[in-house]
Amino acid sequence: MTSLATVTLVVVVVIVFLAVTLHVVHQYEKGVVFHFGKVVGEKEPGLVFILPIINVIRKVSFRIVTMPIQSQGIITRDNVSVDVSAVSYYRVVDATKSVIAIENVQEAINQIAQTTLRKVVGQHTLDEMLAETDRINVDIREILDVQTADWGVLVTLVELKDIQLPDTMKRAMARQAEAEREKRAKIIAAEGESLAATALGEASDIMMEHPLALQLRNLQTLIEIGVDKNTTVVFPGPLMSTIQEMGAFLTRETSAIGKLAKPVGSESLSKNVSPGDVEP
């Protein structure tokens, strides 16, 4: 029994020793090794042997971390109060710096991101903030990169997530947008009227040169009205005068044709023979 207890004790001690000396560093991590409190190097992913008490290992993840930035009450440059929230993405690029340069990387980046968000957004007017969001995102990221470089951290992306406006400002912006739409509609209608007037002017010039063109247009309009089988027929005023003109034109043409139809010989005979020349 004594030997069995001894063997059991040895096995337990070995298991405990291996548990405190062997460490697994994952593929997305690196291990920072301290020897009596001094950094002696970094361990790559895999199985790592560390002497207990003498050495200590700190594992650092290199994966991208998503960190939401809490909504911040900000007054813009044109004195409009807004609530802006954002989200930032960062990752550790230097394991040693992230361990020895700062105590808590995530908390530090969260605080500096909130401060930077208030500072950058406060330098812009409301219209600039709404229209130039991409430029504001780039400005915030560049400022964070400069401040976090000494911590071994790289800020990869910052995006404004939500912008909350006061209700009065929302109503004012809605009225402004409506007025802008009405202005555009009136301008487009005026341009259409101008184009239509130009086209009608050109058409009237053509009709002045060709009077019958207007009458043909009137007849075409009557044909379009007759498609619906209406019992009412509309005769434009100029059409009646045109009918009279056409009647006079036909009368003149008929008389001209009648004159041309008289025998030429009889007319010449009547001109050459006088009454005295005719014998009784």
pLDDT higher for 192 or 230?
A: 192
Calculate mean pLDDT across residues 99-103.
Answer: 88
Q: What is the pTM of this model?
A: 0.59
> Considering the domain boundaries, does residue 43 fall inside one?
yes
Q: Is the pLDDT of residue 266 over 60?
A: no
57 and 84, same domain (yes or no)? no
205 and 215, same domain (yes or no)? no
Q: Is the pLDDT of residue 239 over 80?
A: no
Backbone angles phi, psi at 36, to 5 degrees: 55, 40
> Considering the domain boundaries, does residue 276 fall inside one?
no
Q: How many domains does the chain have?
A: 4
202 and 242, same domain (yes or no)? no
pLDDT tier at 278, thresholds 50, 70, 90: very low
Calculate mean pLDDT across residues 102-110.
Answer: 89
Q: Give the structural domain span for 183.
A: 176-209
Q: What percent of the chain has pLDDT over 70?
A: 83
Average of per-residue pLDDT values in the chain: 81
14 and 94, same domain (yes or no)? no
> Considering the domain boundaries, does residue 261 fall inside one?
no
In this prediction, residue 276 carries a pLDDT of 46
131 and 186, same domain (yes or no)? no
Cα distance between residue 163 and residue 179, in whole Å: 23
In this prediction, residue 155 carries a pLDDT of 92
Residue 73 β-bridge partners = 83
Calculate mean pLDDT across residues 110-117.
Answer: 91
Q: Tell me the three-class secondary structure of the chain, residue by residue.
A: CHHHHHHHHHHHHHHHHHHHHEEEECCCEEEEEEECCEEEEEECCEEEECCCCCEEEEEEECCCEEEEEEEEEEECCCCCEEEEEEEEEEEECCHHHHHHCCCCHHHHHHHHHHHHHHHHHCCCCHHHHHHCHHHHHHHHHHHHHHHHHHHCEEEEEEEEEEEECCHHHHHHHHHHHHHHHHHHHHHHHHHHHHHHHHHHHHHHHHHHHCHHHHHHHHHHHHHHHHCCCCCCCCCCHHHHHHHHHHHHHHHHHHHHHHHHHCCHHHHHHHHHCCHHHCCC
> Considering the domain boundaries, does residue 280 fall inside one?
no
pLDDT higher for 140 or 205?
A: 140
104 and 130, same domain (yes or no)? yes
pLDDT tier at 207, thresholds 50, 70, 90: confident
Query: In Å, how far are 2, 74, 126, 170, 174 from 164, measured between CA atoms?
Result: 75, 10, 11, 9, 15
Q: Is the pLDDT of residue 246 over 80?
A: no
57 and 76, same domain (yes or no)? no
> Considering the domain boundaries, does residue 112 fall inside one?
yes
41 and 120, same domain (yes or no)? no
Q: Is the pLDDT of residue 268 over 70?
A: no
Calculate mean pLDDT across residues 89-113.
Answer: 90
Q: pLDDT tens, 147-156? A: 898 899 999 9
> Considering the domain boundaries, does residue 265 fall inside one?
no
pLDDT tier at 261, thresholds 50, 70, 90: low
In this prediction, residue 131 carries a pLDDT of 86
In this prediction, residue 163 carries a pLDDT of 87
Q: pLDDT tens, 50-80? A: 888 888 889 999 999 999 998 888 888 888 8
> Considering the domain boundaries, does residue 134 fall inside one?
yes
136 and 159, same domain (yes or no)? yes
> Considering the domain boundaries, does residue 151 fall inside one?
yes
In this prediction, residue 272 carries a pLDDT of 47
Cα distance between residue 88 and residue 63, in whole Å: 14
pLDDT higher for 213 or 185?
A: 185
Separation of CA 91 from chain center: 31
Cα distance between residue 138 and residue 123, in whole Å: 14
87 and 28, same domain (yes or no)? no
24 and 35, same domain (yes or no)? yes
Cα distance between residue 119 and residue 65, in whole Å: 23
Q: Is the pLDDT of residue 38 over 80?
A: yes
40 and 74, same domain (yes or no)? no
In this prediction, residue 23 carries a pLDDT of 84
pLDDT tier at 236, thresholds 50, 70, 90: low
Calculate mean pLDDT across residues 173-192.
Answer: 90
